[in-house]
Chains A and B, each alone.
Chain A
């Protein structure tokens, strides 16, 4: 019988390209073919305008095959995003937008696939995964990651159907002839760090990890069209489905590897059932947070406290699977690290003897706000009754606590200013004077250096002492309403990057950076803005940034959406900082966007956009030019 080929190689080629990128990778093959068949292939030269801001959406939206497109907004043509291969532009109609919110300029000679927006809209409606992705891509709604739901922080019960189903769900596998590019796409789509190469009967033949892709492909040693067999590692270390987390951990330590393959009978000759990652072993090995808290209270030395800090990090690394876990993780980390501080204070007081008068110790800055997902400096301030003896005693106590905390692995507190020996420890009278002069002459008092003292929270001693200081400060600020406006101006200094493009963080002026300081350009600006609105509401009692933004949304309903998006963005940035810090054993500030999966890059990009919007709202609210 004579039949024409069902699908042309040309359509397959376009569909195949789309399949390599989310959200298209979430669509079934038939849907991708239908979408590809609806389209046009266009060549556009640098400088061409694809569409202009404010114009109605046309029939097509564009997926970039090669080249890049710059999205700009307003008369000043301010850069709002730079998009490259696999990204799409002009698809706002899918989310019900009537007109283009940006103008799109072709940034370099580009090949674009113009695809039918109505077909895409219909296909999106049929796929919840695509809809979720698009919400993140276009705005700020947080996407749930596949991994968060596939892995889940539930227990490990070797051999059970539930356990096997979870292993299988997390496995990305294919034959040795599959190209590296296809394997990398599959890994990216499933957010999996490993690709299992399987033989004809499904037995494990090799593994390709993210490290292999970095070493072999990113360096150009092996082309992306090479077969995975050219870079896969052998032999594959296997375990049986009945292996316990302890068995898996021992195998990983023994072979110095991060992934194990589970096979039907535990040998490499039988069919692969799934993969076990270092993360899932850590997760299953984790300690009960309550037990950890109890042990901290019983810890007998800074070194045992250090071990408990490491346990906390391990526990958080296993549990922070998506930005949704951030509020809980933040609370857990804050409570645990505060308990560690109190233990250090207990040892310090044993040495210092009884207090001559009343005193309070208050954490400052990030620690004061309870934002301590990674081992943050536990910088504390002392407040004492108005007598020099108690002040000196408290000052000495703080010094001893610093020593214990340093021995327990906490980053050292900043060296006290030699010109101002009492900077961290003052009597009530001195604190009142400090804040009074700061509010009256913020510039002279170098307010930008003192912001951590607006985030004081008592961790030991008498909380009433801080209340006394707050009461005087509240009165002083009430008399000088311009003070908060000045703080607002100060909070507008560090703008986040406008986008992430090909692994670089791109700033509004087009400058591309390989790394981004998440604290300085994402978390810090949100904390600063949240503090401004918090103080503006007459609140001095320190709360976390998320709580402050929630309260601001109630107090300033016209900005409710912006505050809610800012809070989500803060959670996303914290999630990436925590992930980076917990993996790298540091504070996680410096992030290389190139190390993130494509989906994570979209999340972070979206977070930057929301932080930018929060800063713009603040500027507008306090009458500054955006």
Chain B
């Protein structure tokens, strides 16, 4: 199948020890692929990392030290994740942060993460600009608000897999709305690239 006509998106989320991509590390990675407007349950990824000291992040993500001890090293998990992603388009809510923290980890392994990325919040904002949400009550553009807007159950919230699944369910709706509204997702990717260059 033509990958341009039917791109593989990998919707992912990382739970991390902090908010500084250069210093902090990854606790867990959860991801699932979207293709042809469908979430592919046979194409998903889930990893828990063992080699980060537990911080207050554990309170948010609920990962215990014992669980982390059973996990993989950063090298193993990130290598697998990069292989899993392949040349897919990355998708996430505030994807920039997750993209950066994985890229830092990849660099430590001598690899990189050149994949284009789409931010579900930016897609939602672009749709809002076009008036696509007219008539709907929209509380905000954070993950919980978009989840509520699309009636997505907040199961397993604040776990990497849980958030990735919620984001994927939001993404397949946004993708469809974008198609109807005439917004091509590729344009949003390019805009991201331009902004990055400008910075």
A interface residues, Cβ below 8 angstroms from B: 1-5, 7-11, 13-14, 36-43, 45, 66, 111, 114
Contacts and interface: CB of A to CB of B under 8 A. Distances in A.
Contacts of B172: 41-43
B10 interface: no
18 contacts: A1-B70, A3-B72, A4-B71, A4-B72, A5-B47, A9-B30, A9-B46, A9-B165, A10-B41, A10-B44, A14-B41, A37-B42, A39-B42, A40-B39, A41-B41, A41-B169, A45-B176, A111-B169
A43 B176 contact: yes
Given A39-B42, A43-B176, A4 B48 contact: yes
Contact of A5 (B48, B156, B164, B173): B48
B139 to A, nearest CB: 19
Interface in B52-83: 70-73, 76-77, 80
A579 B42 CA distance: 45
Given A5-B47, A8-B30, A9-B165, A39 B41 contact: yes
A114 B156 contact: no
Contact of B46 (A5, A40, A45): A5
B47 A40 contact: no
Contacts of A11: 41, 44
B30 A2 contact: no
Contacts of B173: 43
A290 to B, nearest CB: 57
Given A7-B46, A13-B156, A43-B172, 14 more contacts: A1-B70, A2-B50, A9-B156, A9-B161, A10-B44, A10-B164, A11-B41, A37-B41, A40-B38, A40-B40, A41-B169, A41-B172, A42-B37, A42-B172
Contact of B168 (A2, A7, A41): A41
Contacts of B44: 8, 10-11
B45 interface: yes
A505 B88 CA distance: 47
A2 B42 CA distance: 23
Contact of B162 (A1, A4, A9): A9
A29 to B, nearest CB: 16
A5 B156 CA distance: 15
If over half of B's interface residues share one DSSP class (helix, strand or loop), that class is named, otherwise mixed; here it is mixed
B159 interface: yes
Given A3-B71, A40-B39, A10 B161 contact: yes
Nearest to B175: A43
A2 B41 CA distance: 24
Contacts of B156: 9, 13
B199 interface: no
B134 interface: no
B32 interface: yes
Contacts of A114: 38
Interface string B146-175: 000001000110010110110011001100
Interface of A is mostly: mixed
A43 B30 contact: no
A39 B42 CA distance: 7
B165 A13 contact: yes
Q: How large is the interface on B (under 10, 10 to 19, 20 to 34, 35 or more residues)?
A: 20 to 34
Given A2-B76, A66-B151, A10 B32 contact: yes
Counting from the closest, the 3 A-B pairs by CB-CB distance are A9-B161, A41-B39, A8-B46
A38 B42 contact: yes
Nearest to B67: A5
Given A2-B73, A3-B70, A4-B48, A10 B38 contact: no
Contacts of B168: 41
B30 A42 contact: no
Contact of A8 (B37, B155, B161): B161
Given A2-B73, A3-B70, A43 B37 contact: yes
A170 B44 CA distance: 39
A37 B161 CA distance: 14
Contacts of B155: 13
A66 B46 CA distance: 25
Contacts of B76: 2
Contact of A10 (B37, B73, B165, B176): B165
A11 B31 CA distance: 11
A111 B39 CA distance: 11
A66 B153 CA distance: 10
Contact of A36 (B41, B151, B161): B41
Given A10-B164, A43-B173, A43-B176, A2 B71 contact: yes
B192 to A, nearest CB: 24
Contacts of B165: 9-10, 13
Nearest to A38: B42
A33 to B, nearest CB: 10
B46 A10 contact: yes
B177 to A, nearest CB: 10
Contacts of A10: 30, 32, 41, 44, 46, 161, 164-165
Nearest to B48: A5
A11 B172 CA distance: 18
Contacts of B77: 4
Nearest to A112: B38
Given A3-B70, A43-B172, A111-B169, A9 B159 contact: yes
Nearest to A5: B46
Contacts of A9: 30, 46, 156, 159, 161-162, 165
Specify which of B41, B42, B71 lies most central, judged by the most chain A CB atoms within 10 Å of its CB.
B41
B169 A43 contact: yes
Nearest to A40: B38
B42 A41 contact: no
Contacts of A8: 30, 32, 44-46, 161
Contacts of B37: 42-43
B46 A4 contact: yes
B189 to A, nearest CB: 21
Nearest to B47: A4
A384 to B, nearest CB: 71
Interface in B11-48: 30, 32, 37-42, 44-48
Contacts of B161: 8-10
A403 to B, nearest CB: 62
Nearest to A14: B41
Contacts of A4: 46-48, 71-72, 77, 80
B72 A2 contact: yes
* Max chain B Cβ within 10 angstroms of own Cβ: one of A8, A10, A39: A10
Nearest to A41: B39
Nearest to B165: A10
Given A4-B48, A8-B30, A38 B41 contact: yes
B25 to A, nearest CB: 15
